[in-house]
Amino acid sequence: MAQSNGKTVLVTGGAGYIGSHCVVTLQEAGYKVIALDNFANSVDDGCDGSIALKRVEKITGEPVTFYKCDLLDTVYLERIFQNHQIDSVIHFAAMKAVGESMQYPMLYYKNNIIGMINLLEIMKKYNIYNLVFSSSCTVYGEPEKLPITEEKRIGQSITNVYGRTKFFIEEILKDVTNSDDKWNIIALRYFNPVGAHGSGLIGEDPTKQFTNLMPFISQVAMGKKEKLTIFGNDYDTPDGTGIRDYIHVMDLASGHVAALHKLEKSHIQIKAYNLGTGRGVSVLELIKTFEQTNNVKVPFTFEARRHGDISTMYADPSLAERELGWKATRSIQEMCSDFWRWQTMNPVGYKTVLTNGHNH
Ligand code: UFG
């Protein structure tokens, strides 16, 4: 059990993929965690609890106070703020599938933007001004120069609605901060989070048909899907496939603790940081590493580029290293082996009944 640091963090979207991993890291750093989630993209235990968070409790030995709550339900949301003395908020809760966002733009604008506004209003009412916001490198749009630094102007040529919700929210946060200098906000621009906690107890369990690359690779390796489709082999990259900056989800999680420490030490009003490794890896390289690390086969075919995809994106993460004292340390091999451990221990995700007869 970790030594308490006496601080309480509210984690919205705490039952989700990144949220649940972050709760582990927060508890290990001594924070008391209150989590909320509406299960839009996470798995409940049938009694309004989160299977992922029950497993987090197993990993850390610490309880997580959990509320099934939608950020659009301000009455219930406010009750949480009335019930707890909250020091800071980490806001993950949002819709995040790029393809889905193009089909249902209003759903994305309503959930992501109104959800953020509701949270900001209630935080202000309860005098809580420390906020870490989940942003994304999609706010940069098509990069002109790589690696990408935080100095690049955001909001230009964003290719999808999901990315625009993150951009609009960053702009809202700047306006809010300009209007009231009590706000102390860090926006973390994630690159491509992959991997899972080393225990294999928690990981990514996509509940939607729109999947990212690593879960898809792993489903093919499991034999659940026949083959992977690689979207485009005619990009201007060494092997023709798209390049991304894949970051281990536990490194991403520790970036949030570093951001909270920064907000506790200094009043910065608002600042954005890239959370990436600084290394670009192609689709083919990721497949090869996954195959070699896990001794599996991942058959694939090439198809046309996916609409809205960019060619290459990787971070300059040096600002986070200088100012937050944070650096990603885990390798691509670790991302592949940790993801595979989670996948093989939980072939049907959180609905898998573990060897002890429970799914949590
Ligand atoms: N890809 C394939 N086949 C697949 C899935 C993906 O070839 O079945 C390729 C994509 O074309 C891209 C790379 O794998 O080159 C990564 O694709 P992902 O869908 O895993 O990730 P994206 O980079 O498109 O998007 C992710 C998140 C977003 C986030 C964005 C930031 O899904 O939420 O990173 O770059 F905003």
Read off φ and ψ for residue 102, nearest 5 degrees.
-75, -30
The closest-lying atom of ligand 1 relative to the alpha carbon of residue 194 is 20
Query: What is the bridge-based pairing of β-strands 270-275 and 184-190?
Result: parallel
**295 C-alpha to ligand 1 centroid (Å):** 23
Q: Which stretches within 43-88 are classed as H helix? A: 51-60, 74-83
**Is any atom of ligand 1 closer than 6 Å to the C-beta of 139?**
no
**Which CATH code is given to the segment(s) 8-353?**
3.40.50.720
The rounded mean pLDDT for the chain is 95
Domain assignments of the chain as residue spans, ordered by start: 8-353
**Is any atom of ligand 1 closer than 6 Å to the C-beta of 192?**
yes
**Is any atom of ligand 1 closer than 6 Å to the C-beta of 178?**
no
pLDDT in tens, 222-273: 999 999 999 999 999 999 999 999 999 999 999 999 999 999 999 999 999 9
Nearest CA to ligand 1 atom 34: 192
> Which residues fall within 8 angstroms of residue 7, CB to CB, at 6 or more apart?
30, 31, 32, 87, 88, 264
> Which residues fall within 8 angstroms of residue 322, CB to CB, at 6 or more apart?
none
Q: What percent of the chain has pLDDT over 70?
A: 99
Q: Which residue has the tokens 């996954």?
A: 290
Separation CA 119–CA 272 (nearest Å): 19
Query: Looking at residue 104, what is its pLDDT?
Result: 95
The closest-lying atom of ligand 1 relative to the alpha carbon of residue 228 is 8
Whether 162 is catalytic: yes
The closest-lying atom of ligand 1 relative to the alpha carbon of residue 243 is 15
The closest-lying atom of ligand 1 relative to the alpha carbon of residue 96 is 33
**310 C-alpha to ligand 1 centroid (Å):** 9
Average pLDDT in the 139-156 region? Answer: 95
Give the pLDDT band (50/70/90) at residue 357. low
Q: What DSSP character marks residue 350?
A: G
**212 C-alpha to ligand 1 centroid (Å):** 5
**195 C-alpha to ligand 1 centroid (Å):** 14
Cα separation values, 268 from 193, 257, 260, 319, Å = 26, 16, 12, 14
Nearest CA to ligand 1 atom 15: 242
**141 C-alpha to ligand 1 centroid (Å):** 14
Give the pLDDT band (50/70/90) at residue 209. confident
Separation CA 278–CA 212 (nearest Å): 20
pLDDT in tens, 263-303: 999 999 999 999 999 999 999 999 999 999 999 999 999 99
Helices 17-28 and 249-265, interaxial angle, to 10°?
A: 60
Separation CA 5–CA 30 (nearest Å): 5
**Is any atom of ligand 1 closer than 6 Å to the C-beta of 193?**
no
